[in-house]
Chain A
Amino acid sequence: MTTGNRDVLLEVKDLRIEGRSGEEWNEIVHGVDLTLHKGEVLGLIGESGAGKSTIGLAAMGFTRDGCRISDGSVSFEGEELVDGPQEQLRQLRGSKIAYVAQSAAASFNPAHKLIEQTIEVPLQHNTMSREEAERDAIALYRRIQLPNPGEIGFRYPHQVSGGQLQRAMTAMAMTCRPKLIVFDEPTTALDVTTQIEVLAAIRDAVEQFQTAAIYITHDLAVVAQMADRIMVLRYGNLVEESDTRSMLSDPKKDYTKSLWAVRSFQKAEPFAGKPDMVPIMEVRNVSAAYGEVPVLDDVSFAIHEKQTVAVVGESGSGKSTTARCMTGLLPPKQGEVLYRGEPLMPATKDRPRDQLRHIQMIYQMPDTALNPKQRIRDVIGRPLSFYLGMRGREKTERVRELLHEIELEPDDFIDRLPGELSGGQKQRVCIARAMAAEPSMIICDEVTSALDQLVAEGILRLLDRLQREFGLAYMFITHDLATVRAIADEVVVMKQGKVVEKGEKNDIFKPPHDPYTDLLLSSVPEMDPDWLTDLLDERAAKGMTFEQSAGN
């Protein structure tokens, strides 16, 4: 494929990008080549720090603050973008190359109506009159299947849902009929059920307008639906590149294989308890509200020793609120929470220290769950002295044991601050802090959703091993059904503050389901490139409209 090939839209050669840390420039992308043909969708995948977004932005001749393109060339339709004149780049961006960011909610200006922002680019480039542009925007809204296309544009960003916003952003990118759109993790922040509608809309739009696209994501199953060709990146290097089907069926490199294998993890020993045992924790007919707004309605379930109960549902379904009731941060309006058959006091501050010790919690964002000013020694040491009265050398020894337990080298880590750890290491420290209390159950609130898949798998393996060694019970709050499949014994499905379905994992995953469970289950992307097409066909055959199929 030479530059003379008329089909080539974008050609990146030996791209090197440097990032500044302090006074020094470090190379973060080490010579990546990339060719994109007209109408082709290229998937870029890799863990965080792989340089996906940096490369995606460089395709527009742009670098973030503190970064610079040090070498290589980016040519778009034969025009060189690296160090091109700013005026020329500005003309190109928006009209021929567009960008869709991860968080539409953060990218829209809350002070303007959607349609104002949608037609901004064509007006600025003087390609359409205002009326034409508005008519065109409405046509685009219809095309990407937004509800009430004639009216939705006249709402403000906060008046539409997250999934709709992400689709509106795709419409915005389409207004000038660009030849290339860069999608930077457009569905990562969405629920599985909403993700489908956005994926379908993007794919549809890209096909109809014959737009080429670079699709950046860390979710393999998503990229399998979207891309014609996949590039796997790691540490700013290209690991492997081939077309989607052969990449999925026959990855060549070890790293790619390990990425593919993440989803095969399975809990080592399934729970084998008797139903008549007294559960470690039981939630009995709990209803709760924030002020006057009811959030939980008659929620009941039980967690036994050595058992993992997964609580699943979309955001806003009351999963985390249930955890808050159990820990006493939000005393329930009705019902009670029992620990080993004994009712617990509704509020945390009334519970004796020993009860608090037995119920520990791990959070979604390890960044905010660790005090940035406390050294790891103190983070893990405090529960030891607080609950178990350990001091001095005994405490230090125990901290080292715990670090060893979570597979971090004690000498290396004990005196570090959280800022000096990676995301996965921070989450491990959070686990150690919970373990330090010698609890009998741990509530895990979306503990893997902020982490890369490989790192997340490591965390799941660690939790599984700790469960076997120390006989822990877990309550696993998650919206990721792949995680549920991997480690749950029992599943509780929640929707709008109610328990929709609960039972053993295998029963839940086996039909017949409650319609909502079915929707959740069928919305989880699979590694099959035909999955989305098949699913949409199937749902269409059932007569569901797009919005219904997306659960709205």
Chain B
Amino acid sequence: MMQNIWKELKKAPLTAWFGMVVIAIYIFVSIFAGVLAPYGETDPVGFEYEPWGGDFLLGTDNLGRDMFSRLLYGAQNTVAIAIVTTLLAFFLGGVLGLLAASLGGVLDQVFSRIMDVLMAIPQLIFALLLLTIFGTSLINMVLVIAVLDSTRVYRLARAVAMNIVVMDYVEVAKLRGEGLWWQIRHEVLPNAMAPLVAEFGLRFCFVFLFIAALSFLGLGIQPPTADWGSMVRDNATLITFGDITPLLPAAAIALLTVAVNFVVDWMLHRSSGLKD
């Protein structure tokens, strides 16, 4: 088993390797942010907007908090929240999509039309609207993004499962008298896994950017919690002085997005069965 994984990995292209290394570093940083950071997440430890070098590797922000420490903590917060949100979206969309494909009929119609309605409204505007209605809090944001993103997952899961539920082996399970949940879990899901995993990587990027965008607009993760989106906003004025510090959190977002996409491209390529 381990050997097979290693064999597959060795065949991975350079871009995929780059992506995996970058993701590994991000994961490491977000787990050990507390240990790695020289200062606390929310402690004002210096003057406002101190330059790079000296006590503060990357200077300080608009409230005098250490930029480098906040970048590390930001990884922890933003990445963790994005993963939780994506997981939730996949759970919701995946379960509904598989159910719709397996049961068909009226249920499929009802689910699909609801999803169509949700998808007809531009996502960002819909999210802003919902957050204004329910109030801006972390939980609300996670739920809103998860529900909105689950529509995309639903469509994919349903489309993939549609092709699987007509297979004879699903009929065999049905004839054996297996329950619906067993059929989905043992016969359908394992065969739908490859495209869903690839989609997970892609969705994660979108969710991540979405959270950053909402935070930048002030509707996402609330201060004083460090997150990359709001860090760009808080320090945006520095740009006018030719200081690139506010671009650092943006660059961190961009790098992770690129890395995840490299890995996803490779996985999509593998699951599609295409050989070069």
Contacts and interface: CB of A to CB of B under 8 A. Distances in A.
Contact of B172 (A351, A372, A433): A433
A386 B177 contact: yes
B178 interface: yes
B191 A372 contact: yes
Nearest to B191: A373
Contacts of B174: 329, 348
A361 B172 contact: yes
Contacts of B176: 356, 382-383, 386-387, 437
A365 B177 contact: no
Closest 6 CB pairs of A and B: A373-B190, A369-B168, A371-B169, A368-B168, A356-B177, A363-B168
Contacts, number: 47
Contacts of A349: 177
Best-surrounded residue of B174, B176, B178, B191 (most CB of chain A within 10 A): B176
B114 interface: no
A371 B175 contact: no
A386 B173 CA distance: 11
Nearest to B174: A348
Contacts of B186: 371, 374, 382
A351 B177 contact: yes
Contacts of A513: none
Contact of A353 (B168, B177, B191): B177
Interface string A351-393: 1010010001101010011111110000000110011000000
Nearest to A22: B275
A369 B169 contact: yes
Nearest to A433: B172
Nearest to A23: B11
Nearest to B166: A368
Contacts of A353: 177
A427 interface: no
15 contacts: A328-B175, A329-B171, A329-B174, A329-B175, A348-B174, A348-B175, A351-B177, A356-B176, A368-B167, A368-B168, A370-B169, A372-B191, A373-B190, A386-B177, A433-B172
Interface in B231-265: none
A225 interface: no
Given A360-B175, A382-B186, 10 more contacts: A327-B175, A348-B175, A356-B175, A365-B168, A368-B168, A371-B187, A373-B190, A374-B190, A386-B176, A387-B176
A351 B175 CA distance: 10
Contact of B169 (A329, A351, A368, A387): A368
A371 B171 contact: no
A372 B191 CA distance: 8
A371 B191 contact: yes
Contacts of A368: 167-169
B180 to A, nearest CB: 9
Nearest to A354: B177
Contacts of B178: 386
B188 to A, nearest CB: 9
A329 B173 CA distance: 12
Contacts of A386: 176-178
Interface in B103-155: none
Contacts of B171: 329
A361 B175 contact: yes
Contacts of A360: 175
A369 B173 CA distance: 10
Contacts of A372: 191
Contacts of A433: 172
B138 to A, nearest CB: 38
Interface in A316-338: 327-329
Nearest to A387: B176
B172 A369 contact: yes
Nearest to A372: B191
A349 B176 CA distance: 10
A373 B254 CA distance: 36
A356 B178 CA distance: 10
A299 to B, nearest CB: 20
A521 to B, nearest CB: 30
A511 B167 CA distance: 41
A408 B160 CA distance: 34
B265 to A, nearest CB: 21
A214 to B, nearest CB: 30
Interface in B63-94: none
A370 B174 CA distance: 13
Nearest to B170: A371
B201 to A, nearest CB: 21
A352 B129 CA distance: 51
